Amino acid sequence: MKQDNLSLRKIAKELGVDTNTVIKYSKPTSSFEIVNQNEAVTKQTNNAKKIKPEERKKSPVNKETGQANRVNWELRDLELSIIVETECKKILADLDNKPTRVTFSRVAKRIGKLNFMQRNKGKLPITMSVLGQYVESVEHFQTRRVKWIVQELVAGNEELKRWRIEKLAGLKPGYGEQVQDEIEKQLKQFAFYAPKPWSEGEITWRQLN
């Protein structure tokens, strides 16, 4: 165990990240079987300096042997997994714009790695595992969008109505039960009332506990 921790610290130092981050993403998941991952990374860490973008694309050939240099997939996978998680968090944290669904294609496009990730899914087990933790189902995304719509309506002092939420959230008839429950929850959480306004057209909101 001590040797494993030492190896992980070396990897973390190589990537310039916290050791806990490497430990988190080095554990096998139910979706991907990562066999002897730490051992494989350790063997190549000493010779694996951070790969430059141009080196990744060209995979240069050794002039003396005529053989292509071996790609350090373990290190590349760890690096990419961190980039992917950062991008997923950016998408979810963006409350200033209308929510967008977290999908494989969207995340890969945003980091400029769509073709690369499509071609090498099997060589990127950690990256795919991390991405799988953030990818949203349609229903989960619709639920998140409903929450955002309600916050926008409240901030704009607009009356909450089911039909309005459904329309703004782009919901079609027959949407999921989870989304229905979220709408009910939001309607109960925020109660609209309009006492005598302080000025013409003023509307007041009250949040119920």
Let me know whether 17 and 108 are in one domain. Answer: yes
Let me know whether 79 and 128 are in one domain. Answer: yes
DSSP 3-state of 207: strand
The pLDDT profile of the chain, 209 residues, written as one tens digit per residue, is 444 455 666 666 666 666 676 666 655 443 333 334 444 444 444 444 444 445 444 544 444 444 455 789 999 999 999 999 999 999 999 999 999 999 999 999 999 999 999 999 999 999 999 999 999 999 999 999 999 999 999 988 888 899 999 999 999 999 999 999 999 999 988 865 333 333 344 444 444 33
What does the pLDDT read at residue 159?
85
Let me know whether 180 and 81 are in one domain. Answer: no
Domain closes at, from 134, 162, 187: 134
Let me know whether 127 and 173 are in one domain. Answer: no
What does the pLDDT read at residue 146?
96
Domain that holds residue 115: 2-49+72-134
Structural domain total, the chain: 2
| Residue 56 placed within a domain | no
